[in-house]
Every structure is written in structure tokens, then in C-alpha cells.
Amino acid sequence: MRKTQSFKGMRRIRRILILALAAALGLSSYTYLPHKVLASETPDESDVQEIQEEIDEQQQEIDKTQQEIDETEDKKQKLQEAKENMENYLADLNRQYASLEDEIQDLNQQITDKQAEIEEAQAALEAAKAVEEQQYADMKARIQYMYEHPQASFLELLLTSGSFADALNQAGYAASITAYDRDMFEQYVAQKEAIEEQEAKLQGEKKALDELQASVTQKQNEVSALADSTSGQISQHVNEIAQAQADLDGKNNTLENQKAVLDELIAEKKRMEAQIEAAKAAEIQASLGDVTGVRTTELEYVQYGAYSATEEEVTALAVLIYCEAGNQGAEGQLAVGAVVMNRIRDPRFAQNDIMSVIRASGQFSPVTSGRFDLMLEQGLDSVTESCYTAARRAIAGESNVGNRVFFRTYANYPSLSGLVIGAHIFSYTWNFAA
């Protein structure tokens, strides 16, 4: 009985629901149990086609998840590089800050020393002022004395003195006092000007040091602000890296789950194909009766020239033989391989290599259904050694069907003429007229 389309879609809906439930529960792994064909049901090609579509969809989901993982890995790597660059920059800022700190301490010491020099100069200036005041007081007292006791003229000194020498001595003493006061005043003025000049110079140097200290302190504050900002960016990168890693963990779990689903789907498809093959074999057995596996005519052995094949071509031919005649024995398997090689040699066919013959449009049902590619990509372990042997024999030029280039399932066309080997009938023409 044919299954309805809604029934056929139940497996896909079930798989989607299981994936959604696993994601919601945060499960790292789970087992997907695909729909099993009931014992009373026999799967057909539509079942295989449907599950192949599910396999293709699941593979697309895996590819999408893998792409997201790659993008997240790339994002995480860039964040890690940015974090490392920021850490190096922060280390450089810390070195600058420490250097500026040393410079500020040195400037503080210079300012302290300069302040001490200024204070010494100011003390010297105060001392000079005290000397000035004392000199001024002394000079004022002498002037007052001289005013109150005016000096007699030299003639009066001469007349009042006992001798001319005494008069000269008295006059010279007065003159030396006056000269002394003038010299002391000039020395004081020069000393005071020198001290004031030194103080002004020291004050200027201290001002320059203060300005330099302010500039360095400002630069240190700027470096400190940059360091704080960089530390904040580093913390942000750390959080983003952690988020990226958590995202990666989740996506990797999803990828594992998706691959598990794909494995189950592939396994189910193989089970279906095995059931179909078994059903076909049973059908052939029932239709052929005693004739099954027996040649109705003698085999036509021919040895043609060998074909130079690559390992890929040997594998491809072995896979095709397995799909078409895996249960047909050595003779049936060689016959299928010989048909492929006969088409390369037959001028009626445009294909001139193994792969182009195999993939010619509408020629081999396993290729059309997708089973050939699935086996080629994921089922090589199932291909028997006898199929590889048959492929190598056919490639070496051996044929047991002569130059025949067509074959069909004999049970489906019992009235056709041709060479029967096992379940297949082989012919020179497409209509099996001879």
C-alpha cells in the first residue's frame, strides 16, 4: 500500500522536533532514532529518495554549522590577537608611567634644592640689608657729628695745630673717613645688585622647573588615563573571548548532534536499500524459478585491449558493479563491468572514459537515484572485493558478454532476446532485438 505524503514527511518533522528539543535542553549529545519501516511495509525508491533528501538537508545543516564554527573561531582568534596587542600596549604605558614617576621625583628634588638656594640668596640679601642699615646709621652719625662740629679750614688747623704736620694729619683723617664711607656704599650697592640678580635667576629657574613638573605630571595623568582605558578594553576583549568560546562549545555540540543524525539517516538508507535489494532478489528468484542464475546461452568470452585506468576509475567502476550486480556472482559482476568498457570502445557512444560512461544521462539507475554517489562518498567499506576484481578484469580487456553494450533486469522483460547472466539480460541493441 502506498504511503501518503504526510506520512512520508513524519520522519523529517520528528527529526526537526528532536533537534529543537535537544537545543532547548542544552544536551551535548543525543541519539536520533529515525523512522523504521514496519515489518509489513516494504520500502520503495520513493522512500530512498525521501531519506536521501533528508540526508542532503542534514548535510547542508552540518555545512552551515561548520561555517558558523569557522567564523566564530576566526572572530575568537582576532579578539585574542587584539587582546594581546592591548596587553603589550598596556605594558608599554606602565613603563612610560614609571619613567615619568622617576622624572617627577627628580624634578621634585631639583625644585627642593633650588628653593634652598633661593632661601640662601634671600638670607644673604637680608644680611646685606642689615649691613646697609648699619653703614647708613654709622654714616648718619658721622655726618651729624661733622655738622655739629664743623671742620675748621686748613689755615685754622694750621694756626691751632702745634705744627704743619699735625694740621695735615687732621685734614687727611677727615678725607679718609669720607672715602671709606663712599667705598663701603659702592661695595654694598654692587653686592646687593649681585644678590638680587642671583635671586631673580634662581626664581626663574624654579619657575621653569615648576612648569616642567606640571607638564610631566599632566603627561603622567594622560598616560594613566590611557592605561585605565586600555585595561577596560582588555577586560571587554576577555569577556568577548569567553562569549565566543561559549558560542563555539554550543555550536560544536550542535555539530556533533547533527553528525549523529546524519549517521542515523545514512544507516537507515542503507537498511532501506538492503531491504529493497532483498525484495528484488526475492522477486527475481520467484519469477525465474529454476532458471535463476543459469545461462540460457553460452557466455561469449572476448579479450580486448587493456584500458589505462586511474585508481579513482577502478573504484568508481567497482562501486557501479556493486550497485548493479553486487548479488550476481563473479560472472554477473564481470558482465556489468564489460558493458561499461564496451561502450568506451563502441563508436556509437560519445563517451570515451569510464566516468563519462557511468554518468551518461539516464543510463544507470544507481547513478540517477543518487545511490552511486552515496556509496562512492560514504559506503566504500561495503563494496566487496569481488566487485573490485570484476572491475580490474573488465579494465584489463576481459569480457564475457562479447561486445554487448546494453543490459536490463531479465525478470522484468522475460520475452526479450539476449544473453542471460543471473538476473540480467545483455544485448547489442537498446531494443534487445538480437
Nearest to 154 by CA among 140, 164, 141: 164
- Say if CB 80 and CB 238 are below 8 A apart: no
Tell me the CA distances in angstroms from 300 to 390, 399, 427, one per residue in order. 16, 8, 12
Give the per-residue pLDDT at 91: 94
pTM check: above 0.85: no
The pLDDT tens digits of the residues spanning 200-225 come to 988 898 899 899 889 989 988 998 99
Give the per-residue pLDDT at 36: 47
Given a cut of 50, whether residue 321 has pLDDT beyond it is: yes
With H, G, I as helix, E, B as strand and everything else as coil, classify residue 396: coil
Give the per-residue pLDDT at 13: 61
Please work out, in degrees rounded to the nearest 5, the angle formed at the alpha carbon of residue 31 by the alpha carbons of 27 and 36: 145
Please work out, in degrees rounded to the nearest 5, the angle formed at the alpha carbon of residue 365 by the alpha carbons of 11 and 265: 25
Q: Report which listed range, 133-147, 164-178, 288-302, 344-358, is most confident.
A: 344-358
In this prediction, residue 289 has a pLDDT band, given cuts at 50, 70 and 90, of very low
Give the per-residue pLDDT at 315: 97
Lowest mean pLDDT: which of 17-21, 165-169, 253-257? Answer: 17-21
- Label residue 362 left, alpha or beta by phi (over 0 means left) and psi (-120 to 50 means alpha): left
Residue 384 or residue 137, greater confidence: 384
Mean pLDDT across 164-169: 63
Mean pLDDT across 85-107: 90
In this prediction, residue 292 has a pLDDT band, given cuts at 50, 70 and 90, of very low
Distance of alpha carbon 188 from alpha carbon 312, whole angstroms: 114
Q: Report which listed range, 26-30, 104-108, 185-189, is most confident.
A: 104-108
**DSSP string covering 170-232, please?**
HHHHHHHHHHHHHHHHHHHHHHHHHHHHHHHHHHHHHHHHHHHHHHHHHHHHHHHHHHHHHHH
Give the per-residue pLDDT at 128: 75
Give the per-residue pLDDT at 158: 59
Nearest to 321 by CA among 263, 382, 404, 235: 382
Tell me the CA distances in angstroms from 114 to 107, 108, 120, 199, 217, one per residue in order. 10, 10, 10, 10, 19
The pLDDT tens digits of the residues spanning 241-252 come to 999 999 989 999
